[in-house]
Amino acid sequence: MSYVDEVFQMVVEKNPAQPEFHQAVKEVLESLRVVIEANEDAYRKDALLERLVTPERQLLFRVPWVDDKGQVQVNNAFRVQFNSAIGPYKGGLRLHPSVNLGIIKFLGFEQIFKNSLTGLPIGGGKGGSDFDPKGKSDREVMAFCQSFMTELNKYIGADTDVPAGDIGTGAREIGYMYGQYKRIKGVYEGVLTGKGLSYGGSLARTEATGYGLLYLTEEMLKCNGHDLKGKTVVISGSGNVAIYATQKAQQLGAKVVTVSDSTGWVYDPEGIDVALLKEVKEVKRARLTEYAAARPSAQYHEGRGVWSIKCDVALPCATQNELLLDDAKALVANGCIAVAEGANMPTTIEATEYLQANGVLFAPGKAANAGGVATSALEMSQNSERLSWTFEEVDSKLKGIMVNIFHSMDEAAKKYNMEGNYVAGANIAGFLKVADAMTAQGIV
Ligand code: NDP
Ligand code: 2IT
């Protein structure tokens, strides 16, 4: 059996009941086959792939907190410190009832290659909890965040592991966590990113993932003879990534006609009203029904359905495995020319293969949504030098990074005779730097 197949089989056997982790590893290892096979003996002798798929450290802990009725609640929490070959562990914290170890491992594994692609010195990690911030009071969210950080603080630091936001973790949660870290450690350091502007946050970090997604999409379209201007875009999700993807798409002259949340979706043929969407989601923390109620041109539908709308470009920005084979078929039938992933692994492997086989340009999340973590790394730089850069400075660095990522994955795909296969290109380009650093540092 080939080395790649052996390692994949080991991952499935040693990590039962973690389908998302298996999926993420499978996608990466399949892309790496050509690279690994060219150097199989050396990689095998060093157990490079076994080390790559095994986290350096996995932390599991309980988080007890008291709800508004005086009842004690207990959540499971995780921090997976996956790979520190090229820098301190870096990656978000997801707060969602679906969170389990397998989800955090898939996200941490993806993060290794994403962070490598940014060209910045950050290793891969991810964390979170099955706590659901939805419907909780501010005090309950604070109680959870403080209890969570009371344990997590022992394992993180500005030069060791720097968490950030993800689903369910936004500015409010980062603020409470930062306050508790500082209180316990007595150190004012850049231990988290996505901080508020008054206490060490970076301008443009809030916008960065969505903006970066559009910078990369624009470059991919341009290099393939298309122009984003005038295109119709469908977006899923209505959180941090979706909101700023919508905003930047509109600034670049495209029309965004859908957004969604976990209960339903909106089709707004006149184009999404971003100011209203921000009011509903960022200020009121309400459902999309409120958006539809306030906007005569919007139609609200229960359930899922954004991929059924005719579009040129589709940007999944909600969660994993939200774009399935049938959705890919609908997109192709409707003439979609490009899909770029704002979320982490939103497209199943079958859907991805169908899109690629039908000539749809496909930018994988580890490249397309890397603008968030890249700007987090820029926040770390600003914290280290105790200075803050202007919005324009950060935004222009972000744009440069996203354009570079596109060309790194494009060139890697060409070099290995898979021109246009950006999944393979991103995995290979991300892997080579990490493999080189791991090899140079010996067996650790
Ligand atoms: P938010 O919590 O701000 O928003 C998440 C959005 O996705 C909400 O609209 C939410 O709906 C929807 N959603 C979440 N889970 C589900 C689900 N199981 N089914 C249907 N809809 C769902 O998160 P972000 O915007 O930050 O993250 C979105 C995606 O982007 C995630 O995959 C994340 O890992 C990825 N990402 C985020 C980055 C960042 O900087 N924030 C960086 C790179 C990637 P509802 O409110 O109803 O739950
Ligand atoms: O998936 C991701 O890249 C993020 N949630 C952002 C991580 C970060 O450290 O900014």
- Give the domain ranges of the chain: 55-188, 207-368
Ligand 2 pocket test: which of 95, 114, 118, 166 has the largest number of ligand atoms within 8 Å of its C-beta? Answer: 166
**Among all residues, which ones are annotated catalytic?**
126
For ligand 2, whether the C-beta of 427 sits within 6 Å is no
> How confident is the model over 299-341, as pLDDT tens digits?
999 999 999 999 999 999 999 999 999 999 999 999 999 999 9
For ligand 1, whether the C-beta of 193 sits within 6 Å is no
Diameter of the chain by CA atoms? 64
* CATH 3.40.50.10860 holds for 55-188: yes
Q: How far apart are CA 119 and CA 127, in angstroms?
A: 22
Among 108, 111, 41, 182, smallest CA distance to 426 is for 111
Residue nearest to atom 11 of ligand 1 (CA): 261
Distance 166 CA to ligand 1 centre (A): 7
Please tell me the predicted confidence (pLDDT) of residue 199.
98
Please tell me the predicted confidence (pLDDT) of residue 144.
99
Among 138, 327, 331, 171, smallest CA distance to 239 is for 171
Spans of the chain, pLDDT less than 50: none
Distance 320 CA to ligand 1 centre (A): 9
Ligand 1 pocket test: which of 103, 106, 166 has the largest number of ligand atoms within 8 Å of its C-beta? Answer: 166
For ligand 2, whether the C-beta of 190 sits within 6 Å is no
CATH no., domain 207-368: 3.40.50.720
pTM: 0.98
Please tell me the predicted confidence (pLDDT) of residue 396.
98
Position of tokens 């005719």? 310
Position of tokens 């049938």? 326
